[in-house]
Structure 1
Amino acid sequence: MDYEKLVTVMRKLSLEAGDMIMEIYGRDDFDVKAKSDDSPVTAADEAADAIISEGLRAAFPEMTLVTEEQAATHAAQGDTFLIVDPLDGTKEFIHRRGDFTVNIALVEGGVPTRGVVYAPAKLRMFFTRADGQSVEETGAFDKDTVGAVEPIAVSDADNSALMVVASKSHRDQATDDYISKYAVKDMKSAGSSLKFCLVATGEADLYPRLGRTMEWDTAAGDAVLRGAGGAVVRFDDLTPLRYGKEGFANPFFIAHAPGVDLKTA
């Protein structure tokens, strides 16, 4: 894999998709449909998916592509593939809360190794460089030229005063019960894969997810977190979360800085 080419293409496609998403976001109204699992999908999901999938297939025709919005790709098998969620946080998009992201990742050997997470409404861009180090890009984004980037790294967690981030749209009692096992300094809520990025930048120490997610929801954020020194583990046995599972469904998981003294269920 040519990682330099991959990162360049993923970053450019995420910005192009983000532009399309924001154009639709700015409309007075947009259609919201229900998928077979009753989850919402909008014109922005579909338009962003078309941009990204066409771009990835053109640049990497030999690579398996899995994308949320194309059910035919969900039958793919293997542990090395490109995986896309063109608009993660559709509910945040519909309610105009801004916490939605474009997510593109490479999974190799069951591990997300490169990824980009772009939050167009918040103007935050996180990605892994070709060398695997995660960075945040700031300033005005240009599709053809990378702007100022700053390497990011997880916190040196203080287990007596942890910063915890949890889902905005999927918070439940089980999550609160688990968080109560820790000495928490402060809590914050965020939507979509931004939660992984807040752990990756050290803005949070811990992100537990006790709810249904799919691999396309998590792979890009997982890659960014890994490239910043963090980890994502299964909730049940604290082993690393693996990708390429049949059906692409995730178990419950915990994203964290390495210094966090993880509690068992």
Structure 2
Amino acid sequence: MLLIRLLMVTHNRRSDKSFIMQNMIKNLSIVARSAGAAIMKVRNKGFEVVNKADKSPVTEADIASNEVISYQLAQMYPDIPILSEEGTKISYTDRSKWTEFFLVDPLDGTKEFIKDNGEFCVCIALMRKNRPVLGVVYAPTQDTLYTGCAESGAYVSLSGSSPQQIRTRPPSEGEGLIVVGSRSHPSPDLAEYLDKLNVAKLSPAGSALKFCQVAEGKAHLYPRFNPTMEWDTAAGQAIVEAAGGTMTSLDGSEFPYNKENLRNKGFIVKA
């Protein structure tokens, strides 16, 4: 009887955790869609581009999306701090103590947004102990929503349809690799790396949608040698891992987050 009770308690704890994560996925999906709507509103009326201190571009859409996300997350989860690309003035002394936080890119792919090629998205990740445990990526021009967490797997929803589970698709023996790479940030190191592999196709793409292509089995590999920022990768990593893939540093070690310097080094995403 004691064993049965212990098993029931363990099952209930897992069920409670799964329910909490599922509820959060639903809430973050609402937030991401709202942010996407704010981005599209700016896109439709026109916008100006300015450069931030680091020379990276920012638009009214970045700011509008960040305001939507920050407000809605604070209403839903007032006890969970937020680290966003458009709100990084938080000291490392403070955030190094965080055990849980949201890592947000309000508009991932600003250069793609400026080019108006549709390859931009909203990224929201839940971080626990500096690991991405849940991710939501929303592409507003395609009305496509990707979600993922370890408890329930990874899913895609097209134009508001019911979520469909997605899985990575490792290459078959001898199969040429389908590789996704950055459209706006090509790297000579990438060409050198791919020369050693059996590559059937190299597809350029923008933003965290490259992670999603691996997660849904449309690509086998996403190697990155140019620097990114932590908010560029967290949500995508959560989705890829929930779909059965991996993301590591170039040397195969665990990819680090909540560093004093938020700039990322290279990484490899594999199906």
When normalised by structure 1's length, the TM-score is: 0.89
1:206 alignment counterpart: 221
Taking the TM superposition and a 5 Å limit, the aligned residue runs for 1:242-257 are: 242-257=256-271
Q: Would you say the 8 A contact 2:36–2:140 is kept in 1? A: yes
Q: Aligned Cα RMSD in Å?
A: 1.6
Q: Deviations over 1:59-118 (max 9, x none)?
A: 111112100001223642235311100000000000111100100000112221111001
- What is the distance in 1 between the residues matched to 2:117 and 2:165? 27
Aligned partner of 1:69 among 69, 86, 99: 86
SS across alignment from 1:72: coil
Deviation at 1:121, TM superposition (A): 1.0
- What is the distance in 2 between the residues matched to 1:24 and 1:130? 34
- What is the distance in 2 between the residues matched to 1:123 and 1:44? 17
Taking the TM superposition and a 5 Å limit, the aligned residue runs for 1:140-155 are: 141=160, 147-155=161-169
Deviation at 1:42, TM superposition (A): 0.3
Q: Would you say the 8 A contact 2:149–2:238 is kept in 1? A: no
Q: Would you say the 8 A contact 2:32–2:123 is kept in 1? A: yes
- Whether 1:58 and 2:75 are equivalent positions in the alignment is yes
SS across alignment from 2:210: helix
Q: Would you say the 8 A contact 2:213–2:219 is kept in 1? A: yes
Unmatched tracts of structure 1, length 5 or more: 142-146, 258-265
1:88 alignment counterpart: 108
- Whether 1:37 and 2:58 are equivalent positions in the alignment is no
Aligned partner of 2:122 among 92, 97, 102: 102
2:4 alignment counterpart: none
- What is the distance in 1 between the residues matched to 2:120 and 2:99? 27
Q: Deviations over 1:208-229 (max 9, x none)?
A: 1101111100101111101100
Taking the TM superposition and a 5 Å limit, the aligned residue runs for 1:175-214 are: 175-214=190-229
Q: Would you say the 8 A contact 1:231–1:240 is kept in 2? A: no
SS across alignment from 2:163: strand
- What is the distance in 1 between the residues matched to 2:90 and 2:152? 26
The AA in structure 2 aligned to 1:85 is: D
Q: Would you say the 8 A contact 1:113–1:132 is kept in 2? A: no
- What is the distance in 2 between the residues matched to 1:189 and 1:115? 22
- Whether 1:174 and 2:192 are equivalent positions in the alignment is no
SS across alignment from 1:6: helix
Q: Deviations over 1:14-36 (max 9, x none)?
A: 00110111111122x31111111
The AA in structure 2 aligned to 1:249 is: R
The verdict on how the C-alpha distance between 1:33 and 1:133 changes in structure 2, with shifts beyond 3 A counting, is same
Aligned partner of 1:126 among 146, 170, 176: 146
Q: Would you say the 8 A contact 1:87–1:103 is kept in 2? A: yes
Which of the two has higher C-alpha Rg? Answer: 2
Q: Name which of structure 1's ranges 77-86 and 125-134 shifts more when overlaid on structure 2.
A: 125-134
Q: Deviations over 1:156-177 (max 9, x none)?
A: 3136311100000001211111
1:232 alignment counterpart: 247
SS across alignment from 2:72: helix
The AA in structure 2 aligned to 1:92 is: E
Deviation at 1:123, TM superposition (A): 2.3
1:217 alignment counterpart: 232
- What is the distance in 2 between the residues matched to 1:175 and 1:166? 8
Q: Would you say the 8 A contact 2:248–2:268 is kept in 1? A: yes
Q: Would you say the 8 A contact 1:116–1:125 is kept in 2? A: yes
- What is the distance in 2 between the residues matched to 1:7 and 1:222? 15
- What is the distance in 2 between the residues matched to 1:249 and 1:225? 20
Identity %: 37
- Whether 1:19 and 2:37 are equivalent positions in the alignment is yes
Q: Would you say the 8 A contact 2:148–2:240 is kept in 1? A: no
The verdict on how the C-alpha distance between 1:12 and 1:74 changes in structure 2, with shifts beyond 3 A counting, is farther
